[in-house]
Amino acid sequence: MLKTHRHYEGTLFRCAHISEALGCLEARFSVYVPDAPRARTALPYPKDCEGFPMLLYLSGLTCSDENVITKANAQDHCSAEGLIFVAPDTSPRGANLPGEGERFDFGLAAGYYVDATEEPWSQHWRMREYVECELPELVHAHFPTLGEEAVSIMGHSMGGMGALACALRRPNAYQSVSALAPIAHPTAVPSGSSPDVRHALMKYLGDDEAAWHLYDPTQLAQGYRKDKKGPAPPILVDVGADDEFLASGVLKPWDFIEACRQSDLTVDFQMRAGFDHSYFYVSTAIGDHVAFHAKHLDS
């Protein structure tokens, strides 16, 4: 535990641990825990306490776990809804690989929630394994969650891409999924765009684009088979109409919506007039997303 802060009707914990998934590097994350229904006298929480559902939030490029907890006001909404809010970092830190800090869209703070297969990135850049397995297991073990059957996932931008991909790969793992301005069809983003998503995927996963499809929400939606996977969790996608990355062709939400339509996947889609890609937009929209997840986690 690095720090704790009293925040609204709950406590924010800033944590660090040595991550096996990330090649034994230190990983930092934040957890917000609402107040318990009954008084507590000490931490850690008693084993017999009543727990809370968990909402996992994946951040976007250039962010760490701290951006959302300091800018989005998610804790206020999670306190009101009774949800534990978990925010991991966006990439490994401390590997000191050549070139890891040269670009905003690759390397540090740009893990894209993939498990890299190309050297040297495959040694540490394993964010899929981290957010799907290691981090939730750690949170369930040390905080008063209701366990793996009461988890939902959301994300912003690169994190929206990661959240949608996680939920479509493992639909039974999440009660609901939502995305704020997601990079919804990364394999179709033009080369040389800013961010250059294709450059990152090639560096992490190699030049066989079939390997990229595992992390592409639109590709996953196109190939979704209910007869094999069962129903997908409820999906909410939210985009600002004045988002600069929508205009430049990086986000491509319509591709995802059409892929879901073809696969008979239901999506609640919202477009907000006048909003851009920033945390001003995220802080405005996040209350609706927390309420969406609370509804499905309570069902």
The residues annotated as belonging to the active site are: 157, 243, 277
SS3 state at 78: helix
Structure tokens at 114: 């993939």
Report which residue type is found at 123: Q
> Taking the CA of residue 266 as centre, how many other CA atoms within 13 Å lie in the half-sphere pointing to its CB?
4
C-alpha 25/C-alpha 284 separation (Å) is 34
Helix ranges restricted to H, the chain = 65-71, 74-81, 127-129, 135-142, 158-169, 197-205, 217-222, 226-229, 244-247, 253-262, 279-297
Beta-bridge partner residues of 18: 26
Q: Are residues 161 and 186 in contact, defined by beta-carbon separation less than 8 angstroms?
A: yes
Among left, alpha and beta (phi > 0; psi -120 to 50; other), residue 278 is: beta
In the chain, % helix, strand, coil (3-state, to 5) comes to 35, 20, 40
